[in-house]
Amino acid sequence: MLLEISNLSVAVGDKEVLHGINLTIDQGETHVLFGKNGSGKTSLLMALMGFSNYRITGGQIRFKDRDITLMPINERARLGIGMSFQRPPTLRGVKTKDLIRTFGGRPEDREKEISGLNMATFMDRDVNLGFSGGEIKKSELLQLILQDPELILLDEPESGVDLENIKIIGRSIKKLLQKHLRRQRIKSGLIITHTGLILNYLEADMGHLLLDGHIRCEGNPREMFETIQTAGYEECARCQR
Amino acid sequence: MSEIIKEAEAARDKQGQHGADVDLASFRRDAPAHGTNPDLTCLSDAEMEHLAGVGIVAAPRERAGSFILKDHSPVHCSMGQDGVELLSIKTALAQYGDLPEYWWKAVRPGTDKYTAQAALALDDGYFIRVRAGVKAALPVQACLFIGAEGLSQNIHNVVIAEAGSELHIITGCTTAPDLHRGLHVGVSEFYVQKGATVTSTMLHNWGDEIVVRPRTSVIVEEGATFMSNYVCLKSARSVQMDPLVRLVGPDAVTRLNTILVAAPGADFDIGGRVSLEAPGTRAEIISRTITTGGNIISRGLLTGHVPGVKAHLECSGLILADGGYIRAIPELDGRVAGVEMSHEAAVGRISQEEIEYLMARGLTENDASALIVRGFLNVKMEGLPRELADEIERIVEAFGKSVF
């Protein structure tokens, strides 16, 4: 098992926002996380990445058979977890190219990915400063591609993106998750989506519904999404196996 | 001249408006004599290397002019472009009958004891004049260097950019690497005439116990631009300055950038004042300061005298270590309706959110902090020659690495 979350509880400040979460992701699998605003989806991703504001109050996270529950963020990143943020901070004065350079690798490979996402003109701009919704998503995705993690955490990769860019983003995510490979696929993903648009670009293996910090339903992501669309989150929670 | 002396005499003991008081008598006035030298060999290789750190290069071909003052003696003065005049100020005073239109016309000799000392015991300084319409293709460099222990150096500079001209001055102020104690008093008067553009970049690299009291005033006429970049990322005991830029002609523009780091033991009181006196004038003051244990007072004052002026002031400070403080004092002084002036000020530590964002990309906490600090100090300075921009970037980079 690539990722095993067991009985995980997380608090933000004094308030517990996730209660006893169990979730496993195997190598090559893509999972989707559904849920209302404020249900705890972003908190789960932030806790998996190790952000200090998301305090783990109980349970365990294992990744590649290692207990990473208390591991520093950068060590998790080095071990193979990467995340695309919904609202990343602005880094004033830090040029996007300087951040991109920290990923190492061959300059020509970097150039290829930059032009693939139409990001060349962003390299001299401060990281995330004045970026539109779609530009932030592309910038996040570019960083993830260059970081090349095995477990990819995506927080609403399609929100605020126009129809033209959603194609580029959808295709890039598909490639990032190695959807073109079958048996040899090693990349896994956990994707938060509200609109479900991302499901038009890639097949997901499993869906999870978060409600009030609990996982209330698990199953076929397309079926779950249809139920949510037609009957709402509460109805989806009622159909729990 | 006698009026100047009279005014200075009266201000002999007048403390500065800001900054710790300095006992002027505790510094030597007997400087060793240095002969002049046409090819910069008057300075040792080690000294030249040190000068490179404040933007002064040994290759005269890369400059429209070079002026080096060591202790009290101008040791080198060369010009490389027609229409760009560079002289020691004593030579200029002798040659142009005491420069009655410019000498002490922007700065008052009776401002405080430092201006008084410069008036009463002038050592030397530089005079730069760019003739009307001449665009200096390369920067003029001036180095004010203290090599003798315990010395006080009284400088007075005059810069005139005639109508439609362009000039970039690099002033590198530094002391010999092994020097501990010294005092640098520097009066600078800038006259930026109609439609002219002056960029003044000043790099400081002082010894630990050096006291610095610059007194600068700039008069900017119609449609003219004055840009100032002040960079001091190495230590000093005490630096206090509060240059005044007067935008006296319609549509005159100024931008003052400061990037500054205070190490333990350092005391900086650095400000910038812009007086917007004509319609359509615009000003921006940007200051980025960091303390690693020293004290910083970061001042800024915008005064709007007429309607239709626009100005903005930004003071940001990062506290990277305990033991010192950063006090940001932005002030806006609107005298009439119809002025548009704003400020933002922030003092604090590096945002944890930003550090963790970079850590999520695999950077260590230290590397993430260093990248953010380099970004913080990365103020856009327009018009810098490439090698100077590179040098500033190197200094910033080295600083980022040294603190984490």
- ipTM of this complex: 0.96
Number of domains in chain B: 2
> Can you give the pLDDT of all 241 residues of chain A as single tens digits?
999 999 999 999 999 999 999 999 999 999 999 999 999 999 999 999 999 999 999 999 999 999 999 999 999 999 999 999 999 999 999 999 999 999 888 889 999 999 988 899 999 999 999 999 889 999 999 999 999 999 999 999 988 888 888 888 898 899 899 988 877 888 999 999 988 888 888 889 999 999 999 999 999 999 999 999 999 998 888 875 4
pLDDT for B47: 80
Q: Is the pLDDT of residue B43 over 80?
A: no
Q: What is the mean pLDDT of residues B326-349?
A: 96
Whether residue B391 sits in one domain with residue B244: no
Q: Could you please report the per-residue DSSP string of A106-175? A: -HHHHHHHHHHTT-GGGTTSEETTT--HHHHHHHHHHHHHHH--SEEEEE-TTTT--HHHHHHHHHHHHH
Residue B159 vs residue B46, higher pLDDT: B159
**B398 band by pLDDT with thresholds 50, 70 and 90:** confident
Summarize the confidence of residues B150-170 as an average pLDDT.
97
Buried b (16+ CB within 10 A) or exposed e, B289-311: bbbbbbbbbbbbbbbbbbeebbb
- Contact across the interface for B360 and A89, Cβ inside 8 Å: no
How many other C-beta atoms lie within 10 A of the C-beta of residue A75? 15
Rounded CA separation B216/B107 (Å):
7
- B362, A88: Cβ pair inside 8 Å? no
Question: Least CB-CB distance to B354: which of A52, A73, A89?
Answer: A89
Size of interface A-B (CB pairs under 8 A): 73
Q: Using CA atoms, how far apart are residues A207 and A220, in angstroms rounded to an integer?
A: 6
Q: Residues, chain B, total? A: 404
Q: For residue B208, what pLDDT is reported? A: 84
Rounded CA-CA distance A205/A28 in Å is 9
Cα B48 to Cα B58, B175, B324: the distances in Å are: 7, 11, 33
Tell whether B184 and B225 lie within a shared domain: yes
pLDDT for B99-121, tens place per residue? 999 999 999 999 999 999 999 99
Strand partners, B55: none
Q: Are residues B375 and B229 in the same domain?
A: no
The average confidence (pLDDT) of chain B is 93
Read off the tokens for B172.
């590198």
Cα dihedral angle (B350, B351, B353, B359), rounded to 10 degrees? -10
What pLDDT is recorded for position A183? 78
Q: Residue B363: its chain A contacts at CB < 8 A?
A: 74, 102
Mean pLDDT across the stretch B230-252? Answer: 93
A186 vs B214: CA distance, rounded Å: 64
Query: What pLDDT, in 10s, does the model give residues B365-376?
Result: 999 999 999 999
**C-beta of residue B213 within 8 angstroms of C-beta of residue B16:** yes
DSSP B33: P
With bands split at pLDDT 50, 70 and 90, how would you rate the model's confidence at B389?
Answer: confident
> Is there a single domain that holds both residue B258 and residue B371?
no
Q: Same domain, yes or no, for B342 and B371?
A: no
User: Is residue B39 scored above 80 in pLDDT?
Assistant: no
Question: Which of A73, A92, A103 comes nearest B360 by C-beta?
Answer: A73
A78 CB within 8 Å of a chain B CB: yes
Instruction: Say yes or no: B222 and B365 in one domain.
Output: no
Q: What is the CATH code for A3-86+151-238? A: 3.40.50.300
> In chain A, what are the domain boundaries?
3-86+151-238
Q: Are residues B201 and B264 in the same domain?
A: yes
pLDDT tens profile B353-366: 999 999 999 999 99
Q: What is the pLDDT of residues A162-191, one digit of tens each?
A: 888 888 889 889 989 998 887 788 899 999
B335 in the same domain as B366: no
Clarify whether residues B282 and B335 are in a common domain: yes
Query: Do residues B239 and B378 share a domain?
Result: no
A91/B375 touch (CB, cutoff 8 Å), yes or no: yes
Are B360 and A78 an interchain contact pair (Cβ–Cβ within 8 Å)?
no
Among the partner residues B356, B358, B362, nearest to A51 by beta-carbon distance: B356
> Is residue B247 predicted with pLDDT exceeding 60?
yes
Cβ within 8 Å, pair B361-A52: no
What DSSP string describes A69-87? TT--HHHHHHHTEEEE-SS
Q: Which of B352, B368, B390 is the last residue of a domain?
A: B352
Same domain membership, residue B176 and residue B49:
yes
Q: Which domain holds residue B222?
A: 2-352
Distances from the Cα of B133 to the Cαs of A72, B83, B165, B177, B281, in angstroms?
60, 9, 4, 40, 22
**What's the pLDDT score for residue A184?**
84
Q: Which two structure tokens, joined as six digits, stand for B136?
A: 């200096």
Stretch B218-233: mean pLDDT: 95
Tell me which chain B residue has its CA closest to the CA of residue A93: B375
B368 and B230 assigned to the same domain: no
Query: Which residues in chain B have Cβ-Cβ distances shorter than 8 Å to A99?
Result: 358, 361, 371
Q: Does A71 touch chain B (CB under 8 A)?
A: no
pLDDT for the residue A241: 47
> Given B357, B364, B375, which is nearest A92 (Cβ)?
B375
Q: Report d(CA B306, CA A85) in Å as an integer.
A: 47
